[in-house]
Amino acid sequence: MVKENMKIISYNVNGIRAALKKDFIGWLKSANPDVICLQETKAMKEQLDLEVFEEAGYIYNYWYSAQKKGYSGVAILSKIEPNHVEFGTGIESMDFEGRNIRADFDGVSVMSYICHREQTVRD
């Protein structure tokens, strides 16, 4: 169930493992969002100790990594359980780089997306 005043933050961490060494968890606890979208995680879920996020209250965490290690990647961490999580776009040329993840809550969809630097957004 979505809170009336849901706090959502988007953050390009430029490497989650490096961010964790720089007290990302301390910052996360201080900012205290209900949902945080991360970009450029540059790590696979298996490379992380997910307990640090769970101990900070983000028991629902979803990671979508690039096939190439240390590249790209997005995540959504949440204190609220989403109704549905969509990994990727269904477009193979985009999905192998782990650039898009969406979480649907009651009446709200939250997306963590990295636009490729050579990609343009068109109508």
Domain 8-113 belongs in CATH node 3.40.640.10: no
Percent of the chain with pLDDT over 90: 64
Task: Kindly report the number of other CB atoms within 10 A of residue 88's CB atom.
Answer: 17
Tokens 């101990």, residue located: 55
Q: Tokens at residue 22, please?
A: 């720089």
pLDDT at 123: 43
Mean pLDDT estimate for the chain: 88
pLDDT at 119: 53
**3-state DSSP assignment of residue 53:** helix
**Is pLDDT at 57 greater than 50 in this prediction?**
yes
* Region 16-29 average pLDDT: 96
Torsion 8-77-39-64 (CA) sign: negative
E strand or H helix that includes residue 21: helix 16-21
Q: What CA–CA distance (Å, rounded) separates 13 from 90?
A: 25
- What ranges do the domains of the chain cover? 8-113
Q: What CA–CA distance (Å, rounded) separates 123 from 63?
A: 28
**pLDDT tens per residue across span 62-95:** 999 876 676 688 999 999 999 999 998 887 777 7
Binding-site positions for Mg(2+):
12, 40
* Region 48-53 average pLDDT: 94
Binding-site positions:
12, 40
Q: What CA–CA distance (Å, rounded) separates 123 from 116?
A: 17
Least confident of 33-37, 80-84, 116-120: 116-120
